[in-house]
Amino acid sequence: MKQLGISSQGGAASQSQTGARTLAVNAAFLKDIKDDNQDLKKLLDQITPITRHQQTAANHWPELIILISGLRDQLALHFSLEEAYGYFDDAVIAVAELSATAEKLRSEHPVLFASIRDLADQVSEVCSDRPEQVNQFIQRLDAFRRAFEIHEEGELKLILDSLDDDLGVGD
């Protein structure tokens, strides 16, 4: 019988009987984090229309600087919560495939955060009167957004797979 940790205390990865590190998935908390993170969605929803066109972005550059900085801070919180309560609770047994997926997704957090941190640093250095700089920044931001969306889709799939496995769906 597989058991997912559901305590509110963050734990660490557990060790299997073979000594290999196993990452437990706490689907209940991961889902709560996703459902309650409206601030992150709101920021992304504000940034997207501004950055669809170079001239719109240039006209709203001071606002964009603030929004990107807010996104950086919100993602720091988002990833911290996921790691504290979403992936690492003490599980007695974890399914190897879900553990590997969770480990892969968790390992993406530092890379994604470094990307948004760099973008937050770069946005204030861009001269909004220089279309080529604005376009280059928008391209880097779009690449980050795509990578983050893929990451979030992977986490949603992990939640659903974990819940299906825990509930015995498809047995």
pTM, full prediction: 0.75
Query: What are the pLDDT digits (tens) for 133-162?
Result: 999 999 999 999 999 999 999 988 887 887
Helix ranges restricted to H, the chain: 27-36, 38-50, 54-59, 61-81, 96-123, 131-167
Output the CA torsion 81→46→149→147 (10° steps): -100
pLDDT category at 163 given cuts 50, 70, 90 is confident
Residue 70: pLDDT band (50, 70, 90) is very high
